[in-house]
Chains A and B, each alone.
Chain A
Amino acid sequence: MSVSERSPAAAGNGESNALARSYREAFRRNAPGYLFLAPWLIGFFCLTLGPALGSLYLSLTDFDLLQTPNFVGLQNYVRMATADPKFVSAMRVTFLYVVLSMPLKLGFALAVAMMLNRGLKGLPIYRAVFYLPSLLGASVAIAVLWRQLFAADGMVNSMLAIIGIEGPSWISNPRYSLYTLVVLSVWQFGSPMIIFLAGLRQIPTDMYEAASLDGASASRQFWKITLPLLSPVIFFNFVIQTIEAFKAFTPAFIVSGGTGGPINSTLFYTLYLYQEAFGNFRMGYASALAWVLVIIIAIFTAFSFLSTRYWVHYDE
């Protein structure tokens, strides 16, 4: 290892030597990190950042996949805001879906997690059963199943018939179709439940014991101990699940046969985006839709974070 080949006598070009040495040294120190990171870096630039900027540009054009895009300024965004009733209804459907499914899903998740967090026997079995729908839920098979469950002659109506109620055709009735998808979403409360369970386990039991000794009732313990200490987890679940809900696609596509019908009642935002991009080949407009989705998610996330100081309790 003859790194010390430089003798102090060679002070003449010592400075440039030192410079070269420091470059070599910097290379030696940084090269392994960047080599290991190389696949991700390539992916990041070519498949994430590049395309994201590309779609930002395309959103300002009338790109249709075949001809070179013409720059149209903010026309796509203006059309969205003023002249696209389908966009408005997709927005309405998506927000309704999020607003309805999120509290129910998280509520169930928390309630079941608290029931499971009592040192019951058979916890792994219950946990597995409740988690299974979350794991299967995204597949086409489950969407297919949902279609049949809520069909005019499906399982739900057969059950209702037993108690003498003639149910509507849930799927093909625009008044109800969205609710079937809300139920599907709530049915998959398993993964937030597991996160809640992990969070509940972090709360030291002696805190509850101390509270019981102080005579705090169960509901008081829930409001004064469980909720505040769990609030970071609740916040986390809320943000992640909401973003996932905004991105939901498969169930709406399968249940409505790709149309978002009946009468746009299941036209999820992403489904509309898909139709515009790959059905009508309005790629420019679809790109604008994608960026609006990003902005909605960003605003939602920002507000969620801003709200944390009013209700999320952190240690330290």
Chain B
Amino acid sequence: MSTSIQLRKVVKRFEALEVIKGVDLDIEPGKFTVFVGPSGCGKSTLLRMIAGLESITGGDLHIGGQKMNDVAAAKRGIAMVFQSYALYPHMTVYKNLAFGLETAGVRRDEIDRRVREAAETLRITEYLPRRPKALSGGQRQRVAIGRSIVRDPNIFLFDEPLSNLDAELRVQMRVEISKLHERLGNTMIYVTHDQVEAMTMADTIVVLRGGEVMQVGSPLELYNRPANRFVAGFIGSPKMNFLEAARVATDAIDVAGQAIQLEPYQLGRCPAETPITFGIRPEHIVLGGEVGQALGEARVDLVEHLGGSTSVYATMPSGASLTVLAPGQLSIRHGETVPLRFDAANCHAFGPDDQTLRN
């Protein structure tokens, strides 16, 4: 039941505007893949090209080993859940689920069996005679998923399916979709702009920006070893801190006058004296103490008490601003100056081209 997808140099152009700039991607069968990126990065367009809702300007799309560039959407063995759910408002839930099967000319008793089975799975049986109008957001979401399940597709596509739900429901549906994937084991592609959704649901995350793939990897790979400054900043919350720096030795950099020792492999083959960017996640900075090495001092601008953790917004003497996420509850005040320390293993360095320097 699981199907692989390959994209080879896939390009999409709207008139002169190139929105997908030659994407190469292998999506493994049975995996839950998330396309994530800021709005306008092309993630939805890419998904719609796989679905067959957008034509492919250049390159090849293979699904299950077959070239699918010019195959009609309905014949690709794909089902899609839309952001607005796109339930047919003039049909009952039952009809909504049955419509695709009717179109395909499936026998009536077979349709009935499959609709009821899908409804059972998603616990929407009691809503079958209702119109979508009479359902809550979460119920509509389930119907939309149900509509894709009945067709028994090889691949499921989700286009920001949770963005219209409130926060609580979103978490709940997130879990349900993950469970659904576990049970069905189909290839699923999920588009979102929310990196938390990406981190929590994905087997593989594809980070996109400006129509190009920035990095592909598992959630922890992206977190631990971002390939470039963009991915480093996009994955993780609060955002990674970036400080201007320069390489002064094979194993040392200078961050606003503060010398910092790194492992040589962390700096790669970057020549000395080049301006680089030093990156460290807020949760990897320690306020005071003796661990690791010193990063300098910073003046506290704002403290947010979250209970389980404390966010500190501070400014370095160089003027660079910095966020620190410390575990537990701290009694730091606005205006105080605090020493910052960190462990070199947790830091990142990016070259002038914003690529990670690591060898």
Considering only residues 65-111 of chain B, those with a C-beta below 8 Å from chain A are 66-67, 69-72, 75
Q: Is the beta-carbon distance between A1 and B71 smaller than 8 angstroms?
A: yes
Q: Is the beta-carbon distance between B55 and A4 smaller than 8 angstroms?
A: no
Among A1, A25, A28, A29: residue with most chain B CB under 10 A = A1
Residues of B within 8 A of A3 (CB): 67, 69-71
Q: Which of B66, B72, B75 contacts A4 (CB 8 A)?
A: B66
Nearest B residue to A6, CB-CB = B67
Considering only residues 289-313 of chain A, those with a C-beta below 8 Å from chain B are none
Whole-angstrom CA separation of A4 from B69 in the bound complex = 9
Whole-angstrom CA separation of A29 from B70 in the bound complex = 10
Considering only residues 170-190 of chain A, those with a C-beta below 8 Å from chain B are none
Residues of B within 8 A of A4 (CB): 66-67
Residues of B within 8 A of A28 (CB): 70
A25 to chain B, nearest CB (A): 7
Whole-angstrom CA separation of A29 from B54 in the bound complex = 11
Nearest A residue to B69, CB-CB = A3
Nearest A residue to B67, CB-CB = A4
B245 to chain A, nearest CB (A): 46
Nearest B residue to A29, CB-CB = B55
Instruction: Please encode chain A, from 261 to 283, with 1 for each CB lying within 8 Å of some chain B CB and 0 for all others.
Output: 00000000000000000000000
Considering only residues 1-24 of chain A, those with a C-beta below 8 Å from chain B are 1, 3-4
Q: Is the beta-carbon distance between A1 and B75 smaller than 8 angstroms?
A: yes
Whole-angstrom CA separation of A4 from B66 in the bound complex = 8
Whole-angstrom CA separation of A230 from B72 in the bound complex = 48
Residues of A within 8 A of B55 (CB): 29
**Count of residues in A whose CB is under 8 Å from the partner chain:** 6
Residues of B within 8 A of A1 (CB): 66, 71-72, 75
Instruction: Please encode chain B, from 53 to 70, with 1 for each CB lying within 8 Å of some chain A CB and 0 for all others.
Output: 001000000000011011
A3 to chain B, nearest CB (A): 5
Whole-angstrom CA separation of A4 from B67 in the bound complex = 6
Whole-angstrom CA separation of A25 from B70 in the bound complex = 8
Nearest A residue to B65, CB-CB = A4
Residues of A within 8 A of B66 (CB): 1, 4
Considering only residues 298-314 of chain B, those with a C-beta below 8 Å from chain A are none
Nearest B residue to A24, CB-CB = B70
Whole-angstrom CA separation of A28 from B73 in the bound complex = 14
Whole-angstrom CA separation of A197 from B173 in the bound complex = 45
A192 to chain B, nearest CB (A): 34
Whole-angstrom CA separation of A213 from B126 in the bound complex = 55
Among A3, A25, A28, A29: residue with most chain B CB under 10 A = A3
Whole-angstrom CA separation of A1 from B71 in the bound complex = 7
Residues of B within 8 A of A29 (CB): 55
Nearest B residue to A25, CB-CB = B70
Whole-angstrom CA separation of A25 from B75 in the bound complex = 17
Whole-angstrom CA separation of A3 from B67 in the bound complex = 8
Whole-angstrom CA separation of A73 from B107 in the bound complex = 70
B119 to chain A, nearest CB (A): 30
Whole-angstrom CA separation of A1 from B70 in the bound complex = 9
Residues of A within 8 A of B70 (CB): 3, 25, 28
A32 to chain B, nearest CB (A): 12
A69 to chain B, nearest CB (A): 47
B53 to chain A, nearest CB (A): 13
Residues of A within 8 A of B75 (CB): 1
Whole-angstrom CA separation of A32 from B66 in the bound complex = 26
Nearest A residue to B60, CB-CB = A4
Whole-angstrom CA separation of A3 from B52 in the bound complex = 14
Nearest A residue to B76, CB-CB = A1
Whole-angstrom CA separation of A1 from B66 in the bound complex = 9
Nearest A residue to B70, CB-CB = A3
Whole-angstrom CA separation of A25 from B57 in the bound complex = 12
Nearest A residue to B71, CB-CB = A1
Residues of A within 8 A of B71 (CB): 1, 3
A33 to chain B, nearest CB (A): 14
A215 to chain B, nearest CB (A): 43
Whole-angstrom CA separation of A29 from B69 in the bound complex = 13
B320 to chain A, nearest CB (A): 40
A21 to chain B, nearest CB (A): 8
A279 to chain B, nearest CB (A): 53
Whole-angstrom CA separation of A3 from B71 in the bound complex = 7
A120 to chain B, nearest CB (A): 32
Whole-angstrom CA separation of A1 from B76 in the bound complex = 9
Nearest B residue to A5, CB-CB = B67
Whole-angstrom CA separation of A288 from B359 in the bound complex = 84
A11 to chain B, nearest CB (A): 16
Whole-angstrom CA separation of A283 from B69 in the bound complex = 58
Residues of A within 8 A of B67 (CB): 3-4
Whole-angstrom CA separation of A1 from B67 in the bound complex = 10
Residues of B within 8 A of A25 (CB): 70
Whole-angstrom CA separation of A29 from B55 in the bound complex = 10
Whole-angstrom CA separation of A25 from B71 in the bound complex = 11
Considering only residues 19-55 of chain B, those with a C-beta below 8 Å from chain A are 55
- 13 CB contacts below 8 A, A to B, read A1-B66, A1-B71, A1-B72, A1-B75, A3-B67, A3-B69, A3-B70, A3-B71, A4-B66, A4-B67, A25-B70, A28-B70, A29-B55
Q: Please report B residues at the A interface, Cβ cutoff 8 Å.
A: 55, 66-67, 69-72, 75
Known: A1-B66, A1-B71. 7 other contacts (CB 8 A): A1-B75, A3-B69, A3-B70, A4-B66, A4-B67, A25-B70, A29-B55
Sorted nearest first, the 3 A-B pairs with minimum C-beta distance are A4-B67, A1-B71, A3-B70
